[in-house]
Amino acid sequence: MKMKNAQVVIECLLEQGVDTVFGYPGGTILNIYDALYQYRDRINHILTAHEQGASHAADGYARATGKVGVCFATSGPGATNLTTGIATAYMDSSPVVFITCNVGESLIGKDSFQEVDITGITMPITKSNYLVRNPGELADIMREAFAVAAAGRPGPVLVDIPKNITTVEVDYTPLPKAEHIKHGRLKKLAERASHNVHKIDPDSEDVKKLLGMIAQAKKPMILAGGGIIRSQAEKELLTFAEKIDAPVAMTLMGLGAIPSDHPLSLGLIGMHGTLEANRASTACDLLIALGTRFSDRVAGHTSTFAKNAKIVQVDIDRAEIDKNVVTDYHLIGDACQVLAAVNEKLPQYSHGEWLTQVESMAGEPIPGRSDGKLEPRDIMREIHDRTKGEAIIVTDVGQHQMWAAQYYSYKRPCQLITSGGFGTMGFGLGAALGTKLGKPDATVVHITGDGSFRMNAGELATESFYGIPVITVLMNNGTLGMVRQWQSLMYGNRHSQTTLDRGPDFVKLAGAYGMDAYRVSTGKEFADAFDKAVSSGKSCLIECRIDIDEMVRPMVSAGSPITDFLLE
């Protein structure tokens, strides 16, 4: 059938089952927004306060649902405002398709109004990106973009469409999603990809090698990363861990890979990891890393990481193998498929003596405050108890992020949504809105700090207008807490430009958007306010006044061995 390419974009979204889009209109993308108007009863568009908010919302939606998120923006500053969100999604392997429009082809390269080479800018932070120059290829490019975003190791894809291309009338043939792989550009893409697929079966030499290494190990340990979450391998991981009777440490992106309260769980590893997780990584004789790239925040001084162990790395992305930590053996493949193949041949082991040794590595509990002030761990534990551990926690970046990781007991994957790789302050509110829209029946709690919250607080307008019931818990210590912590410990208490002794009044700010808001300074006040927020079923902000010198414990200095604790 004949239709303009602006309409083709919307039809392709419907082919993919898209029902929610986040974005912000502008001159070059007006034709697509005009087409979207005709589909307003089939696609829900969320107009955010800023393009960066839209990018984070689409990312949060993708992480919470497992679907591909979708974000629209116009050219120039509209497109460049997406770049932080694109990089955030890229570093954490989140599948989002970003659709931008550029100036018309006759204006490209002439420094035209709101012209920018967004494909060039985003090339290093996307799995793939496209500048559409052939009007007849748009539908196939859209289909390919979604396939690339979701396939293998997921990630963001950008499609940039010159405005004149959106006005061209083309022959569009609807194509069910199940047929995409057999058609056009995707058929060629699938054929190329098939040559690079490393299939794992229970009788393969790879599996036999790993089984042999497990059989020889006396002190095995598992390191679970975000790849377990992305491949939905939590059941296979739990079976694997219980069969080899090995403790499991998790990266920030891997939290929820096994329940935090499971006897084999060691919790978080790395710079702010538990003492037992970090110490066990040095004491183990076999470390099996699943879906993790050994980032600097996880491995610390890479030459000393797991120095007494043989290291096995399982990852779907060949580029991650031996990139940061040199391994003794590796398997290329989807974590779920690899673990399923290994579990099929794996006998039951018992490592009681090793598990007892690991248990003894834990430190003494950190004593509570004697002055009665509100403590971050008490806040997180109250949230956990009052939501029965079922809430989805979405964070910004800083001290509050680490407290959320340490003190909420995660039962399942995708219960913690946070910017791990890129460390994006301002990620949380937009991501929380996307999460709640993707998971409307879940209690979504946004954990933030006063520094992070200021960056995209304008998205309160989005939350209020659409009536998205997210509970924001703002830990206000009047400072850039994590940076201050580093200044206190490593820069002689020279707190240069980190004290935030200024507005706004966050309770009044939330009130200006018509939201309920509370300011609390004791545990009882917080519990009462949180109960009101949950029972109201409405948007709410709870400002928690905490001490300016609260610190995240444990802590390892950047680049140090992860057993050399600066704070225990």
Query: Using a CB cutoff of 8 Å and minimum separation of 24, what contacts does 306-309 make?
Result: 306/281, 306/282, 307/282, 308/282, 308/283, 308/284, 309/219, 309/221, 309/281, 309/284, 309/285
Which residues lie below 8 Å from residue 319, measured CB to CB, with a gap of 6+?
none
Q: Give bridge partners of residue 395 from the DSSP assignment.
A: 447
Which residues are known catalytic residues?
51, 113-114, 163, 482
How crowded is residue 174: how many other Cβ atoms within 10 Å of its Cβ?
A: 11
Asked if 206 contacts 200 with a C-beta cutoff of 8 angstroms, the reply is yes
b or e along 445-458 (b: 16 or more beta carbons within 10 Å of the residue's beta carbon)?
Answer: bbbbbbbbbbbbbb
> In a 3-state reduction of DSSP, which class is residue 468?
coil
CA angle 371, 376, 377 (to 5 degrees): 100
Q: What is the helix (H) or strand (E) element at residue 102, kind and residue range?
A: strand 96-102
Between CA 547 and CA 291 the distance in angstroms is 37
Asked if 342 contacts 206 with a C-beta cutoff of 8 angstroms, the reply is no
The residue count of the chain comes to: 568
Closest C-alpha among 522, 530, 565 to residue 546: 522
Between CA 186 and CA 176 the distance in angstroms is 13
DSSP secondary structure letters along 306-361: TTTSEEEEEES-GGGTTSSS--SEEEES-HHHHHHHHHHHPPP---HHHHHHHHTT
Between CA 568 and CA 552 the distance in angstroms is 9
